[in-house]
Structure 1
Amino acid sequence: MLEDEPIFEDALFHQKRKHGVWREIEAPAIEGPIADTHAHVQMLRDPALALARAGAHNVGFVECIVDPSEDGFGPFRALPGWLLEATGTLRRITGHCECGVHEVVVAVPRVRIACGVHPHNAKLYTPELEAALRAHLADRRVSALGEIGLDYHYDLSPREVQQEVFRAQIRLAKETGLPICLHMREAHDDGFAILQEEGFPEAGTLLHCYNLDEAELRRWVDAGCFIAFGGPLTFKKADEVREAAKIVPLDRLLTETDAPFMTPEPLRGIACEPAHTVWTADLMATVRGAETPEERAVFFEQLYANAVGLLDREPTAWQRSHEDGVHA
């Protein structure tokens, strides 16, 4: 994505200007670790560098989204190498940058995996793919099933097929004891109805990449869902998103990126990565009225606890009973 972008091997943020000019901009100060609950790490040009930069900015947790119909299971195999390389890169970029982050104890983020078939690819869902997905859900690094749901904006798979595959994966999540990460676009009525019929998984439901108004969001909140906000929260004309963020209970509020998509202000126009969570988190604190450093620290502590409480749990009973069958 955006292959013409230079790769900056540092811990700084670089804003794209006109005529091929780039300038460094100062990162907001975040009083505590934060989490990116939705990132397509394998789609980044340099996953290890992106994870190192995330660690430099105190992103302590990242949920990597894997679609086996599109990504295969390569990210499962690549993740250890990314983390190892990121550790060395983090030492290098924090030891030489002048952005202040080298003064803080930093570490490569803890990375867990959400695995599931996106509604765009529902037409590719076969018994063989489901069997492979089921096998990989037993991997202890997997902490959610997703992203799954419905997308009526692009309709890249027939709607009836999307609905059938969505139901199948809800049932699989309930069988495995895993929470689900939802992708819903212009399909919220059907998606909500299906979840009511199938039953929301007891392990939890995360509504990802929310861009709805307060009226639509309220029923998802009332159903007990966690709500994740990413780059759109920062967009200049997205007042309705910021207003909606105010109604989510603090203990179910999350930050995300959807990297490499949905880059937040002031970095729009470049590929997004987990480190960019700092911009969303910073504005989220303002939206929620956390103004003093003490209030912000408490706010960020709660957001982080929400993320790890939902997505960094111990293996489920199903995973423990099936781990012997995990593929390498």
Structure 2
Amino acid sequence: MYVDSHCHLDFPGLRERLPEILARMRENQVTHALCVSVNLPDWPAVMAVAGSAANLYASVGVHPDYEDTPEPTVEQLVEAARSEPKVVAIGETGLDYYRLEGDLEWQRERFRTHIRAARAAGLPLIIHTRAAAEDTLRIMREEGAGEVGGVMHCFTETTAVAQAAMAMNFMISFSGIVTFKNAEALRETALAVPLDRMLIETDSPYLAPMPHRGKTNEPGFVMHVAERIAQLKGVTPQALGEATTANFFRLFAKAAGR
């Protein structure tokens, strides 16, 4: 009934417990999960995890927080995406001005590389943005990101930013943050995002939702994100789950065999 649209099952603390994690997914009706790449040296581990179960998928990309790591080229990303049936998206990519300071032009150039690769490969983008919404949206427009669309993952920006992204064919994904007590503004945004433009995620191993906050997050916990948003919208968790699952396979068409 639920799909975790963004997790990092190759990270320490999760990869060693993969059979247990898959079992908890089944118990909590989480049918699929997307294992997201953060750099190229660790990408083989992402693929190993994704290849270990039929209901796991992968992406390829380099996170904006990884400064001292090999830079991807458009050609590398496209070749990886085309050679691996399990790769359904490019990313995660984007901009993060919160953790890093100084001249961040390299981040912006890396972001442009990913958008160009996504367009060449015909795959959607997974975008991370933090304290950089204006530049993120500007580069998305300049590089034609709307041609392939994608998802604004672990969304924490304003409703206006969500609307601007949706206008470029992007979905908005909510994580366990939406369950936190101090996240009222984010809940207002979740209320404003239509069901047919929404995804849910854990961003495991980070950001475990209530009532698991402070613990290692995992895909089986995405049900709590769904339950909180369903409560906000006045729908059943099942309806929320069915809608976001349909959205996932519509966006990541390669996962649906299209």
Alignment of 1:1-328 (within 5 A): 33-43=1-11, 44=14, 45-81=16-52, 83=53, 110-126=55-71, 131-138=75-82, 139-155=84-100, 158-290=103-235, 295-313=236-254
**Gap change, CA 1:70 and 1:48, over 3 Å in 2:** farther
**Gap change, CA 1:131 and 1:215, over 3 Å in 2:** closer
Question: How many aligned positions are there?
Answer: 254
Distance in 2 between residues matched to 1:279 and 1:174, nearest whole Å: 34
Q: Tell me the percent identity.
A: 32
**Aligned 8 A contact 1:68 1:133 in 2:** no
Of 51-60 and 141-150, the range deviating more from structure 2:
51-60
Deviation at 1:177, TM superposition (A): 0.2
Deviation at 1:141, TM superposition (A): 0.6
TM-score, structure 1 normalization: 0.72
User: Higher Cα Rg: structure 1 or 2?
Assistant: 1
- Unaligned stretches of 5+ residues in structure 2: none
Distance in 2 between residues matched to 1:307 and 1:262, nearest whole Å: 21
- Unaligned stretches of 5+ residues in structure 1: 1-32, 84-108, 318-328
What SS does structure 2 have at the residue aligned with 1:184?
A: strand
List per-residue Cα deviations over 1:291-326 (Å, max 9, x = no partner): xxxx54333211110012112536999xxxxxxxxx
**Gap change, CA 1:180 and 1:227, over 3 Å in 2:** same
**Aligned 8 A contact 1:113 1:141 in 2:** yes
Distance in 2 between residues matched to 1:187 and 1:70, nearest whole Å: 26
What SS does structure 2 have at the residue aligned with 1:68?
A: coil
Deviation at 1:126, TM superposition (A): 3.4
Distance in 1 between residues matched to 2:101 and 2:41, nearest whole Å: 13
Q: Residue type matched to 2:40 in 1?
A: S
Distance in 1 between residues matched to 2:19 and 2:161, nearest whole Å: 38
Distance in 2 between residues matched to 1:48 and 1:195, nearest whole Å: 38
Q: Residue type matched to 1:53 in 2?
A: R
Distance in 1 between residues matched to 2:189 and 2:31, nearest whole Å: 26
Q: Residue type matched to 2:198 in 1?
A: L
**Aligned 8 A contact 2:209 2:225 in 1:** yes
Q: Comparing both chains, which one has the higher relative contact order based on Cα–Cα distances under 8 Å and sequence gaps of 6 or more?
A: 1
**Gap change, CA 1:257 and 1:156, over 3 Å in 2:** farther
**Gap change, CA 1:57 and 1:157, over 3 Å in 2:** farther
Deviation at 1:283, TM superposition (A): 0.8
